Structure 1
Amino acid sequence: MFGGFTGFTRPLNTDMGEQVLNAVANQSIRHLFTSSEAIDVQIRCFPSSKLLQGSIDSFKMQGRNLVIRRDFHVEEMSFTTDAVSIDPASALSGQLRLKQPTQAVAQVILTEEGINKAFDADLVRQHLVNVEMEALTNLSGGEPVSFRDVHITLMPENQVHIGAKVDLPNRKDLPISLRSMIAVEKRRQIRFQNAEFDPEGVPDEGRSLSKIVSLAFAEVLDGMVDLDRFDLDGVMVRINRLETHGKKLVFTGYAQIDHFPGSR
């Protein structure tokens, strides 16, 4: 999707100043993530004398198999900026400080597997347990309901299939099944739109009940994912577009970088 890591290979004659900045930036970026398989940071400046004034031509970061907040898996993430102004003295102390915030073109790729793992995270589970919904009052006897075993299947053209289970007073392990379109709102919220009940895999005797609960569950999911809950230290991501590609969900947009991690 990013063309792998080709094109980011450092030339043999990389200036020493760039090497120092690359090493410092790489270490700073790693602090954003709980773990990572690979992170590649490239800072370019020509001529190198501009570094003395803190002027950088471009900053690129590309990471693979990243984990955010211990539970959220990202297949790939990249930021690319144009000119950036830094405090040149900060690099000597092992940090990078921006003179002013900067924006970067951003791309984030999630896998279907990573998305489904996220439904087990506490930050997500708290929105699925003991949910009070007026639409289900008659079915639940007025008691809150909890959804579990959530599984999303990515489909072409930004469609998803969503399955889950719920317990009701008169029915345990009721299967939920629906299809929906996913879209972006306000550049930060993931919306589940045009939800429709999918009877496939739901026993005939439970379909009428499952349809009601499935459409109610779509309301629970709609707008639940807000990127503001996942902001990285000093980096705010905004989405302009999302697309499903096989078993991957690709977000493109921009990132506002206020400061490098740990540099305030």
Structure 2
Amino acid sequence: MFSLFTSSKSSTGTDFGEQLINKVATQSIRHLFSQSEAVDVQIRCHPPSKLLQGSIDSFQMSGRNLLIRREFHVEDMSFVADAVAIDPSSLLSGKVRLKQPTQAVAQVVLTEKGINRAFKAELVQKRLVNVESEALMNFSGGEPITFRDVEVELLPENQIQINALTDLPNRQDVPIRMTATIIVERRRRIRFDNPTFNADGVDDDVRGVSEIFTNAFADVLNEMVDLDRFDLDGVTLRLNRLETSGKNLVFSGYAQIDHFPGT
């Protein structure tokens, strides 16, 4: 059976063993996502006989229009790894099993539209509803605060504009207006650095309260965006840098792959 991995060739010259691993790995990785427009895996091994020892020269995965946990949209995601060791016998049961964890260079692209959609997700809404803050209790009559109708606009040079609303016992639709710089903290958190209140369009009689609530909202955001809450099955993402590019937010880092999903 293993001779098929090292001898058969397709009409395009691609080794049958590589084709088999590509197919099995693609199906496994698809299970990471609730939905996907396209997922493609390319595994290379030369000479093909190295597959008998489970040695792979390179592993590349790319995905487009992905949905994580049914609510978080990713425009593009890619992993690239070298020298991956697998258990070749696992292929016979339609699986890919790693002999040891491996690291891959990773890139993730989010769109402005996808980020705004994420703020409507249940997991995020739980962090914005009934927020208890001693600093705001004097304005809310001692009641928790809820931030709603969050809108995000990506700006050049890693800047971001965030608008939202909140309600007080004596005033509805108190505006939240903030500009901040988005940075990576400890490779796993997204921080909204140097938040600045934007008073444009805010009525004079509510401007002071609006600024206080804007600063409190920035604190809530800085406690919320932690990649560990979004880990994929068997894959842990860590970030080295991010940048805004038009209406996209591009993350670069690495992925620790402990096992393939479903294995």
Taking structure 1 as the reference length, the TM-score comes to: 0.94
- 1:250 match: 250
Q: Which runs of 5+ in 1 are unaligned?
A: 1-9
State percent identity of aligned pairs: 67
**Does the 8 Å contact 1:36/1:66 carry over to 2?**
yes
Give 1:202 deviation, angstroms.
Answer: 1.8
Instruction: Give the SS at the match of 1:86.
Output: strand
CA distance in 1, matches of 2:227, 2:212: 29
- 2:73 match: 73
Size of the alignment, in residue pairs? 254
Q: Kindly report which structure 2 residues correspond to 1:83-102, keeping only aligned pairs within 5 A, or say none.
A: 83-102=83-102
**Does the 8 Å contact 1:192/1:223 carry over to 2?**
no
CA distance in 2, matches of 1:243, 1:11: 42
CA distance in 1, matches of 2:17, 2:140: 65
CA distance in 1, matches of 2:170, 2:11: 67
Matched, 1:117 2:117: yes
**Does the 8 Å contact 1:154/1:161 carry over to 2?**
yes
CA distances 1:227-262 after superposition (whole Å, capped 9, x unpaired): 000000000000000111110000000000000001
Q: Kindly report which structure 2 residues correspond to 1:168-187, keeping only aligned pairs within 5 A, or say none.
A: 168-187=168-187
**Does the 8 Å contact 1:72/1:114 carry over to 2?**
yes
- 1:152 match: 152
Give 1:124 deviation, angstroms.
Answer: 0.4
Amino acid aligned to 2:63? G
| CA RMSD, 1 decimal | 1.2
Amino acid aligned to 1:230? F
Give 1:128 deviation, angstroms.
Answer: 0.2
CA distance in 2, matches of 1:47, 1:154: 47
Larger mean CA deviation between 17-26 and 214-223 belongs to: 214-223
Taking structure 2 as the reference length, the TM-score comes to: 0.95
Amino acid aligned to 1:47? P
Q: Which runs of 5+ in 2 are unaligned?
A: 1-9
Larger mean CA deviation between 134-143 and 63-72 belongs to: 134-143
CA distance in 2, matches of 1:11, 1:160: 50
- 2:53 match: 53
Give 1:206 deviation, angstroms.
Answer: 2.1
